[in-house]
Amino acid sequence: MEVVVAAAERRVTGFMDTFGDEFNKYRSPLVSRYASKEMAYNFSDKKKFTTWRKLWIYLAKAEKALGLPVTEAQVAEMESHAEDIDFAMAAEEESKLRHDVMAHVHTFAHCCPTAAPIIHLGATSCYVGDNTDLIMLRDGFDILLPKLARVIDRLSKFAEKYAGLPTLGFTHYQPAQLTTVGKRACLWLQDLAMDMRNLQRAREDLRFRGVKGTTGTQASFLQLFQGDHDKVEDLDRMVTEMAGFKKAYMVTGQTYSRKVDIDSLSPLASMGATIHKICTDIRLLANLKEIEEPFEKEQIGSSAMPYKRNPMRCERCCSLARHLIALLADPLQTASVQWLERTLDDSANRRISLPESFLTADIILSTLQNITEGLVVYPKVIERHIHHELPFMATENIIMAMVKAGGNRQDCHEKIRVLSQQAATVVKQEGGDNDLLARVQADPYFAPILGHLDNILDPKTFIGRAPQQVARFLSEEVRPLLEPYKAEIDVKIELEL
């Protein structure tokens, strides 16, 4: 046994020597497997800590402009070292201090000895922590919105192309009255358009925490400016503008209200529900062989069943969408348990829930763009399914035609009822095709309308105003929504599946 264990240890050691540390630690598949480079960077340590340094620079610049003893040389020194972070030193400092912000203050001060005395002057940890989170949320929305616009654009073109193609509608997943392939896509589009407006609203509602001090009273800055309230307000405004925000929250505790996180993640979770529904619909239609997601020439659907064409992209979207929906519970709980001006039990949770929500939303949007750029429709299969069910659906039209030809509505209804039951028996008990139309044609009672049956059974007479609804919806609601993203709308997705 000891020999076996020793051999296993040697194999593991050899593996570690060959591949280093990369495969010896858990890595979130959100980043290692799925996420885009831009969203992964948005929540990276590099982005986070360079943003901290930028915030310290903004603060120093504003304090200098308002008369505090900060020199041009100190600001210039800080600016020259905004990007060159010694992460090893910061980690060592944090292991000693048990405080991430002070660890980075010391690390920044080490490379900026002239500016060291004024770095973080008057500020609290949440000045860099919370403000950076708000910047990341804002930038995250700016990454997601064009991607959502591209999905809407691709799906709108699909809806327009198939606006008039009749297809079976389904209620309770049972065949219902006809709709069109394009009209069904517009139901998906309508939900995505709601998501677009929700994301836009959440992005526009974001404000900066600003310069508020330890409990939100700005007491430290009022002391620095010797009781000059106007200068404190000017400082808050100037730093807010430098960070690219129009407004700061007028009141905060130590942190900005954690309700903001709820408002940011709620539209993402709602979008997750939309995408789960869309991809579930496509999976159901793929089972019917009416519509499929893209399938690569050499793609393998099953290791055991070579004929399989599994909807793996849609399944991935559904899988990740559930995670995105579930993540909303975190900010709801966090906001509800913050005591008074703040407690630190928000911190660890937010380090996970905020990035993961945006990363997950990014992944499913990228995947859905890939799906909508290559949806495959099989009109002949759709037509066969319609012809299988249409005779039952056409019974009311047949009755109306008979009445117009002079027949009695009640007599005709009874005739159709009996013939329909007979046809249903053939379909359900004998496994045969729906022969209701043949039974109608063989019954002399229906002789007055036999010459009109083809028109009565034309699928296009069963789709109502679906094509017109598609055209109006795309024109009045979808295209105006995409207008702000015209410059980014044609970007193709590069997806590693």
Cα–Cα dist 361/371, whole Å: 15
For the segment 112-129, the average pLDDT, to the nearest whole number, is 94
pLDDT in tens, 75-95: 999 999 999 999 999 999 899
- The residue that leads in pLDDT, 17 or 194, is 194
Is the predicted pLDDT of residue 308 greater than 80, yes or no? no
Number of Cβ within a 10 Å radius of residue 126: 23
Q: Is 24 helix (H, G, I), strand (E, B) or coil?
A: coil
Number of Cβ within a 10 Å radius of residue 138: 20
Q: What is the pLDDT of residue 305?
A: 46
Give the rounded percent of residues in the chain with a pLDDT score beyond 70.
93
Amino acid at the residue 468: Q
For the segment 105-120, the average pLDDT, to the nearest whole number, is 94
Please state which of the ranges 163-172, 337-346, 368-377 shows the lowest mean pLDDT.
337-346
101 within 8 A of 8, measured Cβ to Cβ: no
Closest CA to 158 of 368, 300, 353: 368
Is the predicted pLDDT of residue 130 greater than 80, yes or no? yes
Is the predicted pLDDT of residue 307 greater than 50, yes or no? no
Q: What is the pLDDT of residue 496?
A: 67
Tokens of 352: 């996970």
Q: Which residues contact 98 (CB under 8 A, 6 or more apart)?
A: none
Please state which of the ranges 133-147, 202-216, 217-231, 412-426 shows the lowest mean pLDDT.
412-426
* Buried-exposed string 88-111: b where 16+ CB fall within 10 A, e elsewhere: eebeebbeeeeebbebbbbbbbeb
pLDDT in tens, 309-350: 788 999 999 999 999 999 999 999 999 999 998 898 888 899
Is the predicted pLDDT of residue 392 greater than 90, yes or no? no
DSSP-assigned letter for residue 493: P
407 within 8 A of 448, measured Cβ to Cβ: yes
Cα–Cα dist 290/282, whole Å: 9
pTM (2 d.p.) = 0.88
Q: What is the CATH number of domain 126-295+306-381?
A: 1.20.200.10
For the segment 65-72, the average pLDDT, to the nearest whole number, is 96
For the segment 353-371, the average pLDDT, to the nearest whole number, is 96
Average pLDDT of the chain, as a whole number: 90
Q: What is the CATH number of domain 395-456?
A: 1.10.40
Residues belonging to the chain: 497
Fold of the domain built from segment(s) 45-121: Fumarase C; Chain B, domain 1 (1.10.275)
Please state which of the ranges 70-74, 384-388, 478-482 shows the lowest mean pLDDT.
384-388
Cα–Cα dist 388/399, whole Å: 19
148 within 8 A of 488, measured Cβ to Cβ: no
Catalytic residue numbers, as ranges: 172, 302
Closest CA to 416 of 440, 433, 386: 440
- The residue that leads in pLDDT, 62 or 447, is 62
Which helix (H) or strand (E) covers residue 177, if one does?
A: strand 174-180
Closest CA to 203 of 211, 195, 215: 195
Is the predicted pLDDT of residue 476 greater than 90, yes or no? yes
Cα–Cα dist 185/137, whole Å: 30
- The residue that leads in pLDDT, 137 or 449, is 137
Q: What is the pLDDT of residue 6?
A: 53
pLDDT band at 306 (very low <50, low <70, confident <90, very high): very low
Q: What is the pLDDT of residue 64?
A: 96
For the segment 292-302, the average pLDDT, to the nearest whole number, is 63
Q: What is the pLDDT of residue 280?
A: 98
Q: Which residues contact 245 (CB under 8 A, 6 or more apart)?
A: 134, 138, 206, 207, 208
Residue in the block written with tokens 């049972």: 174
pLDDT in tens, 8-55: 455 445 545 555 567 788 888 888 888 899 999 999 999 999 999 999
Work out the angle at residue 492's Cα, subtended by the Cα atoms of residues 40 and 356, and round it to the nearest 5 degrees: 25
pLDDT in tens, 195-204: 999 999 999 9
Cα–Cα dist 439/456, whole Å: 16
Is the predicted pLDDT of residue 300 greater than 70, yes or no? no
